[in-house]
């Protein structure tokens, strides 16, 4: 995956809102978790934009994101709970793109995508 061009406005927002005062990987994960939980308006419709070996979704499939996954499941990557084919499951947020969501949700998910696509990691 090609690294996104550096976005100073997004970098500033992430540093000042998502990972502010986070000094270790666990604090960064918790910061991201609550940043996303506070900014994302659930439920929202989303489309799979990339396939992952840990997920049954295929590119182009649509799901309804219902909530953040439990906090303890998001210590290395952010996951959301979705409805898919009658089942509820956790999927990587980086795999999903909002298709019917408010501006804050789109921006917050975009911030996570930016972080992940730039290759940033907790730590």
Q: What is the pTM of this model?
A: 0.93
Beta strands in the chain (DSSP E): 44-48, 62-68, 79-84, 87-92, 96-100
The tokens describing 96, both together, are 């999903």
Domains of the chain: 8-117 (2.30.30.530)
Give pLDDT, residue 47.
97
Under the banding of pLDDT at 50, 70 and 90, the label for residue 5 is: confident
Tokens read off for 112: 């996570």
Question: Span 25-50, mean pLDDT?
Answer: 97
CA distances (Å), origin 74, targets 7, 61, 78:
25, 23, 5
């Amino acid at each position: 995956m090609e690294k996104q061009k550096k976005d100073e406005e997004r970098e500033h927002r992430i540093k000042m809102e998502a990972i502010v005062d986070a000094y270790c990987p666990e604090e960064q994960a918790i910061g991201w978790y609550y940043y996303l939980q506070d900014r994302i308006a659930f439920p929202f419709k989303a489309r799979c934009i990339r396939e992952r070996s840990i997920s049954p979704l295929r590119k182009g499939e649509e799901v309804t994101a219902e909530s953040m996954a439990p906090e303890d499941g998001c210590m290395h990557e952010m996951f959301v709970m979705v409805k898919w084919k009658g089942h509820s499951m956790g999927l990587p947020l980086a795999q999903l793109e909002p298709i019917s969501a408010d501006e804050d949700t789109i921006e917050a998910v975009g911030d996570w995508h930016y972080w992940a696509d730039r290759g940033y990691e907790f730590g």
